[in-house]
Amino acid sequence: MDTINLKRLYALVLVEHRSRRAHLLGVTANPTGEWTTPAARNFLMHTDTTNIKFLIRDRAGQFTDACDTVFADAGLRVLKSPPQAPKANAYCERIIGTLRRELLDRRLILNEQHLRRTLTRYLEYYNTGRPHRGIGQLSPSQAETGPPSPVDLASHRVHRRAILGGLIDEYQIAN
């Protein structure tokens, strides 16, 4: 992602294959192995990994042996995707496209903090409110708890809530 000052920023996002839940591990201007390893460690400290068995990653230079060791120590098997095969990691390619189409191509990013805040808010929406075709038009959180019960909207008022400055609108039953 390029900022309005033409500074290139990188985000590290992890996607759970089964639930489609996405996690932001960090944002930086210099994605090195020294940055990726602590980002992975911080993610694992704050996340329950009992349902995660594999980590599929590409062969980029910022994924060092130390980073792989952090995931392996947590009981995850690290698998490297084949070279020059973007279809081998289709779920990550899909979320990159989604982030670009629905968010990053529609916002001007000021700096690293602004990108982190914007991605954090969007991924909260992505995990709790955005329907996913691969899991029956449910959000990842609904896929874990079950779909909501139907509501007769004729007897309720509906409230619109703007997310990310009106880029996305969410609708809820007004109290």
Question: For the whole model, what pTM was predicted?
Answer: 0.85
Decide if domain 10-147 falls under CATH 3.30.750.210: no
Domain boundaries, the chain: 10-147
Rounded alpha-carbon distances, angstroms, from residue 169 to 95, 152, 160: 20, 20, 6
Residue 38 tokens, joined: 């602590």
Q: With a cut of 80, say whether residue 86 has pLDDT above it.
A: no
Q: Quick one: pLDDT band at residue 91, thresholds 50, 70, 90?
A: confident
How does pLDDT run across 27-67, given as a tens digit for each residue?
999 999 999 999 999 999 988 878 888 888 888 888 999 99
Q: Quick one: pLDDT band at residue 89, thresholds 50, 70, 90?
A: confident
Average pLDDT score, the chain: 90
